[in-house]
Structure 1
């Protein structure tokens, strides 16, 4: 069953004349409700308005984009950044840029549709049915056997919607004599976890939505400055509208708030983890705000007790429904205690 809301949920969701504790969504840091962030946005909005209706490569350019990209790169501890209109477009732009003649794409299990192209819709036989851990044991040898001149390997940074921790040590075991680019969609981890994925021998490109933990409509690509300079020349970048400039000004003026909210989120996660039973049916990973289960009836039981989570098949309509429970920086201890109390009765 789907619900509609007339306001942006924070800790509380009101829908169909019912009030629920809201434990869903991807606004992990709660930035859209942060008072200082909102005040900074109002000031930036007064300066920049609703949008910049121009190509980033046009004759006249707004300097806020380059300024914000420098700060985003520092925030992510990456060499350089390039912003775009959405996380989905960040992934599609990168994959189209890398789709050159004599190129073979490989896809890790659970890779987000943002990185899909025609190759991903037809997984290779050896990839079918593998877990992520099983896939990592095979990818090095498969790349070594691949005759293509260019290799692109795509993966998410963390399992979603069903949460799973991904180990990227496999990157360090890829053949050194191949032209390999690793593309990682970090949409569900950027702003929450600052683990940096690096490789001494191969190119790394990280794409991310800014509309999850960061609370801004837009996307970003992280890589070395030379690679991003080439992407800037690509027609699909030059012909696309950029993200809202007021949000980038807001980011620059709110960096301390992001760090403060992340600290609150980590404290909420630790508090919740200390309360739930060790043998809980919820699957989770360390220092991460999402908890998942395929156990039937959980979403409905929580809803009956005043707690709203997400439960829907993903990424396709035929996939098994996932009940996904999300803690945010906005939750109070009393909210977490209520959640624990109900979970113990499931």
Structure 2
């Protein structure tokens, strides 16, 4: 007579999991429990066990709960080795405890470390201080009071808020495109868009600038489409590669306008024209340009009057617009395709109400006359900083944008200078591998409209002292505030006058 309980299971299931079943349920069956006690000597033991030898071995497993040691991979040792290697070559990233302050009279300062020491921040990408502007703050606060702090889920599940559609409409208008789509970050926007497009376009070939951001590189890799790398901002090399491409095959040309680490600006019109000549779509990252260039702050495309040449533009809400999130803008059908097919969009929680409201307010603010005033003062303080570095003989990479890189070769050296500056009340993060190539280490300064000439002067003095402190040579023009050759005192009256033209509150 078969067991009415075990007999109801599939035989393969019993063979695989019989031992576990015996452990959990054996004591509840008088026949089985008797068999466990007598170790198979009871003539009345369960007939099912008599017929299944694998189950008759269960008493041994129930009486012993010993797990044989397994020679497993040494995970913690592996992780320790990885971190140790990063520390040895000075590429280990230390996150500074820096809390930026937003109030009038203290911005752009921050509280640093456990002691909450005041330092001036020089490396934030909140380029125009939009994150602390009253209009942006009030919009975010009002949205929290009306709609709460969170979106509640993906747009597909939790619903598509009216603020989301307003923000996308404003972004599309900003870039002179029919449609736009917002993402949780611009990394996700670039990755999701490029991986989806290059994957679904049949036999698509990608042409990627050698200086592209990691988000674009990741998207291209994830698409598994064939790719060609052209030299950074080199339209001739792009043309050479495209000229060898097969006709009629979909192509994507991918590049940035303002390079985040060098401050270089691409030859946008020429590169777009070359791409279109060979039938390619242009994907242009304006992350470090939106809010900062053009009459409305739409970026380099607007400033140079070539927005129509950009097929897909990506931007961020987390830098000049002072919030968080990313976006793309383009044709209606293209945007709908990404909305419908990109996993990075479909399965990500929507941006929360305060971010939507704050971003919308920031875009409108920077498109206004006040925004243009902020941009003008921003460029003036950047020029003052570059000139001050030049006069001091301190090194700087050539940059025509708002980004000011100061090269300091060696990950150990750049970290030491950054630490020396912090001791003197100035916070700037050391940039090393993998953000830049080994040997191209630097400090990356981003002065803004709320930095004053006095702050710049203090920073330059601190830089000179930090270079000396760490035995880094540079061509020092100034000695005790005067030219080393003619002893003439250095004054920046012209730059000071230029800065005073902008009547705005400065900390």
TM-score normalised per structure 1 = 0.85
The size of the alignment, in residue pairs, is 341
Indicate the SS of the match to 1:61: coil
Aligned to 1:277: 390
State how 1:195-274 maps to structure 2 within 5 Å.
195-196=300-301, 198=306, 204-236=311-343, 237-255=345-363, 257-258=365-366, 259=371, 260-274=373-387
Find the partner of 2:244 among 134, 138, 145: 145
1:59–1:250 Cα change, 3 Å: closer
Aligned to 2:408: 294
Greater per-residue strand proportion: 1
Greater per-residue helix proportion: 2
Larger RCO (CA within 8 A; separation ≥ 6): 1
Aligned: 1:162 with 2:281: no
Aligned: 1:305 with 2:412: no
**Could you say what the CA RMSD is over the residues aligned between the two structures, in angstroms?**
3.1
1:146–1:158 Cα change, 3 Å: same
Aligned: 1:111 with 2:198: no
8 Å contact 2:196–2:342 — kept in the other structure?
A: no
1:126–1:218 Cα change, 3 Å: closer
Aligned: 1:7 with 2:7: no
Q: Following the alignment from structure 2 to structure 1, what is the Cα–Cα distance between the partners of residues 397 and 278?
A: 39
1:266–1:80 Cα change, 3 Å: farther
Q: Following the alignment from structure 2 to structure 1, what is the Cα–Cα distance between the partners of residues 408 and 394?
A: 13
The CA deviation string for residues 257-299 of structure 1, in whole angstroms up to 9 with x for no partner, is 4315434423322433454426651125334143332355553
Q: Bigger CA drift: 114-123 or 149-158? A: 114-123
Aligned: 1:185 with 2:305: no
State how 1:46-125 maps to structure 2 within 5 Å.
46-58=145-157, 60-98=159-197, 99-100=199-200, 101-117=202-218, 120=221
1:317–1:331 Cα change, 3 Å: closer
Q: Following the alignment from structure 1 to structure 2, what is the Cα–Cα distance between the partners of residues 125 and 86?
A: 24
8 Å contact 1:268–1:329 — kept in the other structure?
A: yes
Q: Following the alignment from structure 1 to structure 2, what is the Cα–Cα distance between the partners of residues 228 and 175?
A: 20
Indicate the SS of the match to 2:348: coil
8 Å contact 1:28–1:289 — kept in the other structure?
A: no
Indicate the SS of the match to 1:214: coil
Aligned to 2:434: 315
1:195–1:318 Cα change, 3 Å: closer
Q: Following the alignment from structure 2 to structure 1, what is the Cα–Cα distance between the partners of residues 380 and 204?
A: 45
Aligned to 1:34: 133
TM-score normalised per structure 2 = 0.60
Q: Following the alignment from structure 1 to structure 2, what is the Cα–Cα distance between the partners of residues 153 and 256?
A: 30
Which structure 2 segments of 5+ residues have no match?
1-92, 102-106, 294-298, 468-507
The CA deviation string for residues 199-246 of structure 1, in whole angstroms up to 9 with x for no partner, is 76x762111221111111111112122321222222523333221232
Q: Following the alignment from structure 2 to structure 1, what is the Cα–Cα distance between the partners of residues 377 and 352?
A: 27
8 Å contact 1:218–1:244 — kept in the other structure?
A: no
Find the partner of 2:447 among 327, 330, 339: 327
The CA deviation string for residues 84-130 of structure 1, in whole angstroms up to 9 with x for no partner, is 11111100111122122311112101111111247559999974xx7
Instruction: Find the structure with the greater CA-based Rg.
Output: 2
